[in-house]
Amino acid sequence: MKKYNSSPSEEISNLEQIQARTGHVFNDINLLLTALTHPSYTAEHTPPPEHYQRLEFLGDAVLQIIVSDYLYKHYPDRQEGALTKMRSSLTNETATAAYAIELGLNQALRLGHSEIDGGGRQRKSVLGDIFEAFLAAVYLDGGMEEARRICLDILAESGAEERLAQQEECNPIGQLQEFTQSTFQCKPLYHLISHTGPVHAPLFTIGAFINGHYVSSATGKNHKQARSLAAEQALAFCADAAALPYLNGPADTLFALDFDGVICNSAAETGCSGWKAAATLWPQDFPSPLPPQELLERFCALRPCLETGYQAILMLRILMDGVDVQEFASSFSEQIQQCMAKHKLEKEELVRRFGSARDKWINDNLEEWLAMHTFYPGVIDALKTALDAGLQIHILTTKQERFVQALLSGCGIQFPQNRLWGLDKHAPKENILQALRENTKAIIHFVEDRLETLRRMEKLPALESVRLYLADWGFVLPASIAEAKNDSRLQVIALEDFTQLFKK
C-alpha cells in the first residue's frame, strides 16, 4: 500500500480509472478532486483547496436514502427494526470503506504528510468518508439517478445480497420476532434474570418469553450476546412440534419447585462427598471410599441443619469424634465454629476441598454418584401426572442441569430443558421467580424446603402474588415448620398433599 500522494500524471490516471470504473464521466472534475481531498492535505497547501467534509455530509444523506429506498422496495415483509439493521450493515464504516477500496478511491486520496505517516490511507473512517463524499460529488454532477445507479452497482458487486442473507441467518432475535408476530401477533419479551461475575468479566442471564409463557434463557458476556443466545434457543424450542400447543395453551398456573429437599433426597450424596473431602484432611480417620452406613445415617439425620455443602466435612469430623446427634443438633453453629478453630481450617479451603472431592467422584464414577440420590415417595408420580397434563412445571436448583436431567431420566421423566433452572443459569431463585412473575399471566406456586429462601421471597414486593409453600418432608427443621405455620404468607405442605397441589 503506497504511502505517498500521486504525482500529477498518476493523479490524472487515477481519476480516469475511477470514472471508467463507475461509468460516470464528471462534467466538473473539481467535484471529484474535492471528494478525494483530506483536510490534512488542505492544511499543507496554499492556496488551500477545498476538502471533502461538506461533500461527506451530503453524501451520507444520499447513501441513506438510496439504501433505504432499495430495502423498502425489495423487502416488503420486513418491519422497521429489521430494515434498520439491514441498512446499517450496508452503510456502516466497514462497508463504506470496502466500497472505497473497490472503486480505487484510496489510491487517488490526497493526504497531508502527517496523515500519510499515521496510516490514513488504510484508516476505515477516512475511506468511509471519501466514499460518501464521492457519492455526493456524483449526485451534484449527474443527479440522484446516476448516484443511485453507481451505489447499487457497487453494493451488488460487493455481495450485499449475500451479506444480508447471512445477517438474516445470524440474527435469531429478528427471526424470533418475525415468528412470534406472525404466529401469535405479539413480540417476544426478554428479561434480565441475573448479572454475575467480576466487573472485568461480567455474565448476564436473560430469559425469553412468548405469549405469556417462558421459553428459554441463556448466559452471555453482555446483554446483546445473552439475548441473541436466548432467542436462538427459543427458535430451536419453537421448531418442536410440541411447542405450539404449549405456547397457545393456558398460562393460568405455573409451579416452581426446588429440587434437593422437595423432589430429590441428596443427603447421602452430600454425606459421601463430605467424607471424601474429609479424607484429604485426615486420611487415617477416613480410610474407606465411602463412610460406614451407621455414620451416614447419623449424618442424614443432621442434614436439615446443614446450611452449605462444605459444612459436611466438619459434621463428619464431629460425628467421628463421638458427639451425640441430639447434642450436635442443639448447638450446630457453635460446634461447627469450634471444629474449624480446633483444626485451624478456613471456609475457603473447605469449600475448595468439598467441591474438588465431589467433582472427582463425579468424574471417576458418575453412576455411583447418581445412585446416592433417592426420590421422596410419590413425588415422581406427581411430576409425571403434572407433565402429562400439560402443566407448567419449572425446577429451580443449585445442581448442574445435566445431573438433574440424568436423575429424572433414570425415573422415566424427560423434563423440558427450557424449564430447568440449574447452576448453569447463574441466577438466584428470587430473580427467576421475578422474571416468571413479570412476563407470564400465571398464578405461580413455589415449593421450597428452606424457610430462609422463602423469607427472601416475602421481602420482595414483585413476588407478592406468588404462593409460597414450605415442604415439610425435605431438609427442614421442626422449628422452621412451626415458624412457617404462624406466618399467614406461607403454607406448610405435607408430602401426601403434594400431588393434590397440581390438581387445584
Q: In whole angstroms, how far apart are CA 444 and each of 262, 387, 408, 435, 451?
A: 17, 16, 23, 11, 18
Q: In whole angstroms, how far apart are CA 54 and each of 23, 51, 58, 142, 453?
A: 24, 8, 7, 18, 63
What phi, psi does 441 have (nearest 5°)? -95, 5
Q: How far apart are CA 271 and CA 280, in angstroms?
A: 15
Give me the pLDDT at residue 1, please.
44
- Confirm if 370 and 409 have CB atoms less than 8 A apart: no
Among this protein's residues, is 359 annotated catalytic? no
Question: What is the chain's alpha carbon radius of gyration, rounded to the nearest angstrom?
Answer: 33
Q: In whole angstroms, how far apart are CA 411 and each of 260, 371, 381, 408?
A: 16, 12, 10, 5
Residues facing 392 on adjacent strands: 254
pTM to 2 decimal places: 0.62
Give me the pLDDT at residue 250, please.
65
Domains, the chain, ordered by start: 8-168 (1.10.1520.10), 171-248 (3.30.160.20), 253-263+373-501 (3.40.50.1000), 267-367 (no CATH)
The set of residues, in sequence order, having a beta carbon less than 8 Å from that of 146 and lying 6+ positions away, is 24, 138, 139
Annotated active-site residue in 56, 115, 129, 132: 132
List own/partner pairs for 4-10 with CB under 8 A and 24 or more apart. 4/116, 5/41, 5/110, 5/111, 5/116, 6/107, 6/108, 6/110
- Confirm if 264 and 475 have CB atoms less than 8 A apart: no
Q: How far apart are CA 239 and CA 233, in angstroms?
A: 10
Give the 3-state secondary structure of residue 207: strand
Give me the pLDDT at residue 364, please.
95
Q: How far apart are CA 405 and CA 9, in angstroms?
A: 74
Number of neighbouring beta carbons within 10 Å of residue 94: 10
| Segments of 365-493 assigned E as strands | 374-375, 392-396, 420-421, 443-448, 467-471, 490-493
Listed residue (323, 321, 398, 312) closest to 357, CA to CA: 312
Give the 3-state secondary structure of residue 310: coil
Among this protein's residues, is 132 annotated catalytic? yes
- Confirm if 308 and 260 have CB atoms less than 8 A apart: no
Q: In whole angstroms, how far apart are CA 249 and each of 184, 185, 387, 504?
A: 12, 15, 14, 17
Digitized pLDDT (tens) for each residue of the chain, 504 residues in all: 455 666 777 788 889 999 998 999 999 999 999 999 999 888 888 898 899 999 999 999 999 999 999 999 988 877 777 788 788 889 999 899 999 999 989 888 888 887 887 777 888 989 999 999 999 999 999 999 999 999 999 988 887 777 776 665 557 888 888 888 888 888 888 988 888 888 888 889 898 988 878 888 888 888 888 888 899 888 888 887 777 777 876 667 889 999 999 999 999 999 999 999 999 999 999 999 999 999 999 999 999 999 889 999 999 999 999 999 999 999 999 999 999 999 999 999 999 999 999 999 999 999 999 999 999 999 999 899 888 888 889 999 988 898 999 999 999 999 988 899 998 888 899 999 999 988 887 889 999 999 999 999 999 999 999 999 999 998 999 999 999 999 999 999 999 888 777 765
Number of neighbouring beta carbons within 10 Å of residue 333: 10
Complete DSSP assignment for 74-118: H-TT--HHHHHHHHHHHHSHHHHHHHHHHHTHHHH-B--HHHHHT
| Segments of 274-391 assigned E as strands | 374-375
- Confirm if 465 and 254 have CB atoms less than 8 A apart: no
Listed residue (154, 164, 190) closest to 83, CA to CA: 164
Give the 3-state secondary structure of residue 194: strand
Q: In whole angstroms, how far apart are CA 17 and each of 10, 44, 103?
A: 10, 26, 9
Residue with cell 430473580: 431
